[in-house]
Amino acid sequence: MAASVLNSVLGKLEMVSTSDHASVVSMTLFVALLCACIVIGHLLEESRWMNESITALFIGLCTGFVILLTSGGKSSRILVFSEDLFFIYLLPPIIFNAGFQVKKKQFFRNFITIVLFGAVGTLISWVIISLGAKQFFKNMDIGFLDVGDYFAIGAIFSATDSVCTLQVLNQDETPLLYSLVFGEGVVNDATSVVLFNALEGFDIKNLDHTIALSFMGNFFHLFFTSTMLGVLTGLLSAYIIKKLYIGRHSTDREVAIMMLMAYLSYMMAELFYLSGILTVFFCGIVMSHYTWHNVTESSRITTKHAFATFSFVAEIFIFLYVGMDALDIEKWKFVSDRPGTSVAVSSILLGLILFGRAAFVFPLSFLSNLAKKTPNEKIGFKQQVTIWWAGLMRGAVSMALAYNKFTSSGHTHLQGNAVMITSTITVVLFSTVVFGLLTKPLVSLLLPKQSGSTASSDPVSPKSPFTMPLLERGHNGHPDEVDTDGDRIARPSSLRLLLTTPTHTVHRLWRKFDDTFMRPVFGGRGFVPQVPSSPREQQNF
Amino acid sequence: MAASVLNSVLGKLEMVSTSDHASVVSMTLFVALLCACIVIGHLLEESRWMNESITALFIGLCTGFVILLTSGGKSSRILVFSEDLFFIYLLPPIIFNAGFQVKKKQFFRNFITIVLFGAVGTLISWVIISLGAKQFFKNMDIGFLDVGDYFAIGAIFSATDSVCTLQVLNQDETPLLYSLVFGEGVVNDATSVVLFNALEGFDIKNLDHTIALSFMGNFFHLFFTSTMLGVLTGLLSAYIIKKLYIGRHSTDREVAIMMLMAYLSYMMAELFYLSGILTVFFCGIVMSHYTWHNVTESSRITTKHAFATFSFVAEIFIFLYVGMDALDIEKWKFVSDRPGTSVAVSSILLGLILFGRAAFVFPLSFLSNLAKKTPNEKIGFKQQVTIWWAGLMRGAVSMALAYNKFTSSGHTHLQGNAVMITSTITVVLFSTVVFGLLTKPLVSLLLPKQSGSTASSDPVSPKSPFTMPLLERGHNGHPDEVDTDGDRIARPSSLRLLLTTPTHTVHRLWRKFDDTFMRPVFGGRGFVPQVPSSPREQQNF
């Protein structure tokens, strides 16, 4: 009897949560707002000060305000935030697209520096923010927070959002800087989420050497297995499409396989409690290196633009939601009686972010410069400042982690948690809007377009034989355009390169391995028997 | 106090339903199965007997069986069916793609016949199945069903699924037949759903003339407003993209606008309690006629294939689910004590489907033939049999409507409802597998490839000046390839056509209106200033 009553209650609840007409209303409104963001973002594109993220934030804020007024101050949200929505549907396309569109050669050439910034740097920033927060907050009356909470705060505020900076930086003018900021952004996201998840599983309260060691072991294990899972899934997709040559029958099937396999890699990582972000990122890299070349030309165009579109929409969706959620009355009423505390907490966090990032960008740049031989490859001071600035914005990952930690399904009931949520919102809004709007003037001040310093940021010497094709191809936005000059490395001038830059040797060994063992099995560039005329030229629409 | 307890219970339930690791497991399994269906479907493509739908059904059945064994007979499902999943996420891409890829000229040339079959025919079939079910079931012991339930059964089993037939028919060999079967399928889906929804809102028990009349009024109102909403949304998207010329900055933005506006049209229809199916279908037609021509070449390729891929994946998803759900133990235990009843009910329903369809296909074909002047335009008897056969399969729409009517969120507790659900599953499985597998032999028997009767099914006289370009262009699968010969209608031979076929006059008037009023505002073919060389040729990869 009790079971059947429970069953019917459960059934009713499920119906209310899914079949309600209200959910149709909110979805319609949300889709309409997404359209509005795209159109307005397009209109504002001429002035590159405003980007889509800030537009979406503002539209979200306005909508939240209107809903707040019409609902008589009851609620400002039309969708309850769920980490699942974010981590299962919105984040995977963004990260996969990042891996799919990354300029692989630049990325792997600066791989060590990127990992240094993204992993070691994030760990440094995490420690500084955690300890700083513990130090400052323990004497403030903001409700109870334990050691685990402080470490979580460190992880939450170590997750950067470099979208604003990347929109301002020019990939062709400053390739080194672009690849560093971009690569660091991805590795940083992954590191923060891995840190956050690793923390969740550990009993931080009784911290000792064994636990710290096993924590580090767990961290590196996660890093390695997640990467391998992504690589393997990507290779599997390449193998299937090459072996069956699906495009002979249908382009749609190829596109479907690529999308589903990419998503599968993410879900498998989540299934095995690994880092889906890392997995899907490396799956994207492998797919763009092998799978993408095994499909028909129309599948290539479709996947390239479809993945970019998903990522684009997911990003706008997140910022729109963050803007709308910022006015949610439930969280603010906990802090409304002491607005000073909230401002103080947010300011302290912003200060810690500024300091925590400076504390690793400049020392690690110095370290990285020590390993470089030629002055052209070193990271100049102005570039260091740009890198520092690029990682000051906090975005959707911070929000999602904060919601995960301090709310249960979008609702807060403890004062300490409410304070942390409102502070996160404040930090995200402030850093995205204020730091974001300052990025363009700062970059044009530090890296003027006519100056020689911009050109010198190219790690390849301007006289090198493969600079020109690299720059030429930079415009069509091919996922792998820089790979096309791979064969040129074996030319006479490579002896000098071999001596001065050891990464080129690694690259050459990899090319050899790739050509001998990988490509015969997994396809890759030049595999598919295409129409005789090169399809490359046709693609520059 | 009670409110806060309820709140925390609600919060917990929401967490269980979304954040559970079990949902990650089931999603991973589902995505992996989708991949398997595509790969296996590709391998089986050589023999066109098996299509992706039947493959997905079988894989779903096998998976359900394995889950049933491993869970010890407890459950065979990994996802609880929700009509929302079906009606909000899976159906819109399928129907939109149908409108987007339809050969508009063929569709509109046969518009009257299509509406005759799709709307009037479905109504006839609905009346026959409803009354037949009432007649046969009232003396059988299958639990209580009221008048509304019988009318709902009529609507559920009037929704055809012509996927199998369309996969066998050749669009270029039998264009009239293809466009009739395809068009009828879409209009039939819309009619069934509109009927079903209209029934839900009416008090059928006290049926009289006023209610019947207001029901018909409501039905036509729904039909008209839904169509207009779709047309208007499509035109809006064309206007926005033409006015702003978004592609100048980014292809992704164009693709995103098209996807979001298409989805918006569906959601708005649902918001206003209209028929989303009709809306999104006409939105697709308008988008392929105007919007698609206003975007860049890469956006065209991307949207064409991305929409087709979504539709393809959604279709497989549905069949996979239906197969998996067929073994769900909960429903079968209600009927397991009397297997005879279940078989009897299913057989009666199958018989009613066969008869109900014959009762309108042959008379309406006769009516349609009366209006045609030339024997080439008439629907021959063999073609009538093919049309009759094409609509015998029942698929996902029937399942979704049955779930909507006879379960609450995927669970059944009344015996009458359980019987109806199992009968629906039986009818869907039997008709899809048995009728589906018989389709290919039947079509090759009725419409042999070498025979002259196949060629004569072409409504355009073989000597007509625009037959050849039509057939030539049929291969590149352009959403609007048949439009390209629009200008030729005004040639000398059109006088004869004008006298014999009045639809061509309507078409010419429409072309004139389109060229004079619509295209200057909404763009359309030839709008975008492209690269000098015709981009058409580049697209035949």
**Sequence-distant (≥ 6) Cβ neighbours of residue A77 within 8 angstroms:** A64, A67, A324, A325, A328
Task: Enumerate the residues of chain A whose CB falls inside 8 A of the CB of residue B256.
Answer: 34, 38, 309, 312-313
pLDDT confidence of residue A268: 93
Q: Which of B389, B272, B295, B249 is nearest to B100 (CA)?
A: B295
Please indicate whether, in this complex, the C-beta atoms of B34 and A260 are within 8 angstroms of each other.
yes
**A contacts of B301 (beta carbons < 8 Å):** 298, 301-302
**Across the interface, do B305 and A252 touch by the CB < 8 Å criterion?**
yes
B35·A257 Cβ contact <8 A: yes
Q: Is the pLDDT of residue A88 over 70?
A: yes
Q: Does the beta-carbon distance from B267 to A35 stay under 8 Å?
A: no
For residue B325, the distance in angstroms to the closest alpha carbon of chain A comes to 18
Among B15, B413, B538, beta carbon nearest to A409: B15
Q: What's the pLDDT score for residue A1?
A: 35
Which residues of chain A have a CB within 8 Å of the CB of B88? 24, 27
Reported pTM: 0.79
List the one residue out of A479, A423, A440, A424 whose CA is nearest residue A102: A479
Q: Work out the minimum CA distance from A141 to partner chain B, whole angstroms.
A: 25
Q: CB of A256 within 8 Å of any CB in chain B?
A: yes
Q: Give the Cα separation of B365 and B446 in Å (integer).
A: 17
Q: What is the pLDDT of residue B377?
A: 74
Chain B interface includes A15 (CB < 8 A)? yes
Instruction: With residue B410 as reference, give the H or E element that holds it.
Output: none
**Angle of helix B209-244 versus helix B251-271 axis, rounded to 10:** 160
Contact across the interface for B302 and A309, Cβ inside 8 Å? yes
Distance from B28 to chain A by nearest Cα, in Å?
5
Q: What is the pLDDT of residue A74?
A: 63
| Chain B CB contacts of A312 below 8 Å | 252-253, 256
Q: CA–CA separation, A280 vs A286, rounded Å?
A: 10
Q: What confidence category does residue A35 fall into, taking pLDDT thresholds of 50, 70 and 90?
A: very high
Partners of residue A298 in chain B, C-beta under 8 Å = 301, 305, 539, 541
Kindly identify which residue of chain B lies nearest to residue A535, measuring between CA atoms: B541
3-state secondary structure A284-304: HHHHHHHHHHHCCHHHHHHHH
CB A356 within 8 Å of CB A337: no
Amino acid at B261: M
Name the residue in chain A with its Cα closest to that of B303: A302
pLDDT at A42 over 80: yes
Q: What is the pLDDT of residue B85?
A: 76
With CB atoms and an 8 Å threshold, state whether B260 touches A39.
no
Question: Is the predicted pLDDT of residue A370 greater than 50, yes or no?
Answer: yes
DSSP A45: G
B396 Cβ contact partners less than 8 Å away, ≥ 6 residues apart: B86, B90, B91, B161, B315, B318, B319, B322
Residues of B in contact with A538 (CB under 8 A): 538
Mutation target to probe the B interface, by most B beta carbons within 10 A, among A309, A409, A531, A534 is A309
Q: pLDDT tens digits for B93-140?
A: 988 988 888 777 778 878 888 888 888 899 999 999 999 998 888 877
Please say whether the beta carbons of A265 and A230 come within 8 A: yes
Whether residues A84 and B39 touch (CB distance < 8 A) is answered with no
The count of CB pairs under 8 A between chains A and B is 184
Please tell me the predicted confidence (pLDDT) of residue B420.
84
- Whether B476 has its CB under 8 Å from any CB of chain A: the answer is no
* A5 near B CB under 8 A: no
- Is the Cβ pair B306, A301 closer than 8 Å? no
Which residue has better confidence, A85 or A77? A85
Closest among A279, A106, A121, A122 to A182, alpha carbons compared: A106
| ipTM given for this complex | 0.78
B256, A27: Cβ pair inside 8 Å?
no
**Rounded mean pLDDT, A217-244:** 89
Lowest mean pLDDT among A204-208, A481-485, B243-247, B291-295: A481-485
Record: contact B313-A11, CB cut-off 8 A:
no
Element (H, E) at B8: helix B2-19
Interface membership of A296 toward B (CB under 8 Å): yes
Residue A295: closest C-alpha in chain B: B541
CB contact (8 A) between residue B309 and residue A259: yes
- Chain B (305-364) residues lying within 8 Å, Cβ to Cβ, of chain A: 305-306, 308-309, 312-313
Q: Please tell me the distance in Å from A300's CA to the nearest CA on chain B.
A: 9
- Compare all CA atoms of chain A with the CA of B21 and give the residue at the minimum distance: A271
Q: Are B404 and B88 in contact (CB under 8 A)?
A: no
A476 has a chain B CB within 8 A of its CB = no
Q: How far is CA B53 from the centre of its chain?
A: 14
With CB atoms and an 8 Å threshold, state whether A302 touches B305: yes
Report, as an integer, the average pLDDT of A400-428. Answer: 78
- Neighbouring C-beta atoms of residue B205, cutoff 10 Å: 9
Quote the mean pLDDT of chain B: 75
Nearest-by-Cβ selection for B271 from A28, A42, A299: A28
pLDDT of res. B173: 74
Determine, for residues A313 and B408 on separate chains, whether the beta-carbon distance falls below 8 Å. Answer: no
Q: Look up residue A283 and give its two tokens.
A: 């799956």
Q: Which of A4, A39, A408 shows the shortest C-beta gap to B15?
A: A408
The set of long-range contacts for B306-310, using a CB threshold of 8 Å and a minimum separation of 24, is: B306/A255, B306/A302, B306/A305, B306/A306, B306/A309, B306/B255, B306/B259, B307/B93, B307/B96, B307/B97, B307/B100, B307/B101, B308/A251, B308/A252, B308/B97, B308/B101, B309/A252, B309/A255, B309/A256, B309/A259, B309/A302, B309/A306, B310/B93, B310/B97
Buried b (16+ CB within 10 A) or exposed e, A24-49: bebbbbbbbbbbbbbbbbbeebeeee
Q: Chain B residue closest to A27 (CA)?
A: B267
Query: CB contact, 8 Å: B236 with chain A?
Result: no
Q: Which amino acid is at A404?
A: N
Nearest CA in chain A to B302: A302
Burial classification of residue B372, based on how many CB atoms lie within 10 Å of its CB (0-12 exposed, 13-18 middle, 19 or more buried): middle
Whether A36 and chain B come into contact, CB under 8 Å, resolves to: no
Q: Among residues of chain A, what percentage have pLDDT more than 70?
A: 74
Q: What is the pLDDT of residues A270-318, one digit of tens each?
A: 888 888 888 998 999 999 989 898 888 889 999 999 999 998 898 888 8
A270: nearest Cα among B253, B1, B21, B170? B21
Look at A258-272, A318-332, A484-498, B426-440 and tell me which has the smallest mean pLDDT: A484-498
Phi, psi of B411 (to 5 degrees): -115, 145
CA distance B89 to B342: 32
B466-496 pLDDT, tens per residue? 333 333 333 334 444 434 333 333 344 444 4
Q: Do A253 and B28 touch (CB under 8 A)?
A: no
pLDDT in tens, chain B (541 residues): 333 333 333 333 333 334 467 778 888 888 999 999 888 888 887 665 566 777 888 888 888 888 878 776 666 666 666 667 777 888 889 889 888 887 777 788 788 888 888 888 999 999 999 999 988 888 777 777 778 888 889 999 998 887 667 767 777 777 788 888 888 887 888 788 878 877 776 666 666 777 778 877 887 888 889 899 999 999 999 999 888 876 666 788 889 999 999 999 999 998 888 888 889 989 999 999 898 988 888 899 999 999 999 988 988 888 888 888 777 766 677 667 777 788 888 999 999 999 999 999 999 998 888 877 777 778 888 888 988 988 888 887 888 888 888 876 556 667 778 888 888 888 988 888 888 888 878 888 887 764 443 333 333 333 333 333 333 333 334 444 434 333 333 344 444 444 445 556 677 888 888 888 888 888 877 664 443 333 333 333 3
Tokens representing A493 are: 């001038």
Record: contact B32-A264, CB cut-off 8 A: yes
- The DSSP 8-state label assigned to residue B485 in this structure reads G
Q: Is the pLDDT of residue A468 over 60?
A: no
Q: Which of B25, B42, B409 sits opposite A253 (nearest CB)?
A: B42
Cβ–Cβ < 8 Å for A421, A412:
yes
Closest CA to B259 of A81, A305, A55: A305
Which residue is closest to A36 within chain B, CA to CA? B257
